Amino acid sequence: MDKIREDLSSMAGGECSLPVSLEVIGERWCFMILRAALNGVGHFEDFLSEIGIARNILANRLTRMVEAGIMTRRPCDHDKRKVEYRLTDKGQDLLPTMIALRQWGERWETGVPSNPILCDSRDRQPIGPISMRAHDDRVLEMDDLCWIDESELKLDADGANRDDMVVRHLREIGESSAA
């Protein structure tokens, strides 16, 4: 466990993405709204009936999620008096996180798979466990991980950065946060 260690003092200063992310979505009702939205729920009244949330709490959380760019709010196409909420790309990017949390809960909390079971639409088989994968597609476990500074990424024998994918990812994160 010694290998995976990051500077935890940076977590309070906005340098760590985990507490920042939890500020946006780390509340029970936000997860329930997100789950409903990922299942196609988009109208205020449908959120109310699907997840059993108080009207004022739902209004507050939806507003926060729209302000955070996780959802959009727009008039319904078929009835301009109503509004619909839809996930943005940012919101849809939370799907693997939601699936990972669901799988964790099935393994450690309930002990049984949830019903219905999430399947691949192509072959109608259950999806596999969400996992961390290396650049060469190996499944990574806790002991395979370490924290390194971006400036310390290793180079191949030819001098090319073999971690170009990581660098691109870091740049994309920087570009999207600047937008």
List, in order of start, the domains of the chain with CATH numbers. Answer: 17-93 (1.10.10.10), 129-178 (no CATH)
Q: Tell me the per-residue pLDDT of 113-130, one tens digit each, with 9 for 90 and over.
A: 888 899 999 999 999 999
Residue reference for tokens 């994918």: 165
Look at residue 44 in the predicted model and tell me its pLDDT.
96
Using pLDDT thresholds of 50, 70 and 90, give the confidence band for residue 147. confident
Using pLDDT thresholds of 50, 70 and 90, give the confidence band for residue 33. very high
With beta carbons less than 8 A apart as the criterion, state whether 135 and 163 touch: yes
Per-residue tokens: 34: 């997100």
Burial of 59 (0-12, 13-18, 19+ CB in 10 A): middle
Q: Provide mean pLDDT across the span 25-34.
A: 94
Burial 141-173 (b: 16+ CB within 10 A, else e): eeeeeeeeeeeeeeeeeeeeeebeeeeeeeeee
C-alpha span between 176 and 179 (Å, rounded): 5
- The crossing angle, in degrees rounded to 10, of helices 28-38 and 17-25 is 80
Residue reference for tokens 């971690």: 163
Q: How many CB atoms lie within 10 A of CB 47?
A: 23
Please give the model's pTM, rounded to 2 decimal places: 0.77
Using pLDDT thresholds of 50, 70 and 90, give the confidence band for residue 5. low
Residue 154 reports pLDDT greater than 80: no
With beta carbons less than 8 A apart as the criterion, state whether 126 and 119 touch: yes
- Give the 3-state DSSP-derived string for 104-148, with helices as H, strands as E and coil as C: HHHHHHHCCCCCCCCECCCCCCECCCCCEECCCCCEECHHHCCCC
Residue 51 reports pLDDT greater than 60: yes
Q: Tell me the per-residue pLDDT of 6-25, one tens digit each, with 9 for 90 and over.
A: 665 555 555 678 888 888 89
Using pLDDT thresholds of 50, 70 and 90, give the confidence band for residue 80. confident
Q: Do strands 139-140 and 83-87 pair parallel, antiparallel, or not at all (unpaired)?
A: unpaired
Residue reference for tokens 């937008």: 179
Tell me what percent of the residues of the chain surpass a pLDDT of 90.
Answer: 58
